[in-house]
Amino acid sequence: MKKIFLLIIIFIGCKESKDKLDLITIKEYSILIEIPVGTNEKWEFNKINNKIERDSLNNLPRTINYLNYPFNYGMILNTNNSGDNDPLDAIVIGNRFEIGDTIQAKPIAIINTLDKEKSDPKILFIHSSSPLNQISSKKELKEKYPGVLKIIKIWLNNYKKESEVIDIEGKKNAIKLIKKSTIK
């Protein structure tokens, strides 16, 4: 009887551990790069013609009138953000990629922003090309590289007037949002 009880406890413990592990496993996701690090040009994927095009405002090519992007920016493939009906936005720390590159990276956080007073979450990823590639969580990033999140937050709060960072959540919530937003 003791052996059966012990086996049941072990089985339940393993099942719970597996469920928890699935949420925190360092899984990589596919990201389409729309804007490379170091540029101030605004590019965007056009869902109608399936091309990345220079964004425009008042029929003029849109240029960010602030510091150049300090990260690669893109979208998580096969997702749909219910807030703006576009794929989930991705901020990628890593080497410079080219417009249209599809890469794999691991999520570590959600940067929750408001854009024109609408929810516009951005998933923060670290690519294997980054010197920070050993980082696997928001907590680790804050401890080992305390200025990185501050730089991203300052940039997002200032590159256009309608955007504001509300808070930053950890990897577990980032993965949950990606899973919830994945198109089946």
Angle between the N-to-C axes of helices 171-181 and 2-24, in degrees from 0 to 180, rounded to the nearest 10: 80
Which residue, 113, 107, 94, 116, is CA-closest to 182?
107
Structure-derived torsion over alpha carbons of residues 131, 135, 136, 137, reported in degrees to the nearest 10:
-130
The CATH-assigned architecture of domain 27-181 is: Alpha-Beta Complex (3.90)
CA 48 to chain centre: 23
Structure-derived torsion over alpha carbons of residues 159, 163, 164, 165, reported in degrees to the nearest 10:
-80
Q: What is the mean pLDDT of the chain?
A: 87
Whole-number Å distance between alpha carbons of 7 and 3 = 6
Residue pLDDT, tens place only, 89-137: 999 999 999 999 999 999 999 999 999 889 999 999 999 999 999 999 9
pLDDT attached to residue 27: 83
pLDDT band of residue 5 (cuts 50, 70, 90) is very low
Q: Residue 181: what are its φ and ψ, rounded to 5°?
A: -90, -5
Residue 8 has pLDDT above 50, yes or no: no
Residue 11 has pLDDT above 70, yes or no: no
Q: In sequence order, what are the residues at sequence separation of 6 or more whose Cβ sits closer than 8 angstroms to the Cβ of residue 13? A: none
pTM for the full model?
0.85
Domain extents in the chain:
27-181
Report the pLDDT averaged over residues 25-52: 92
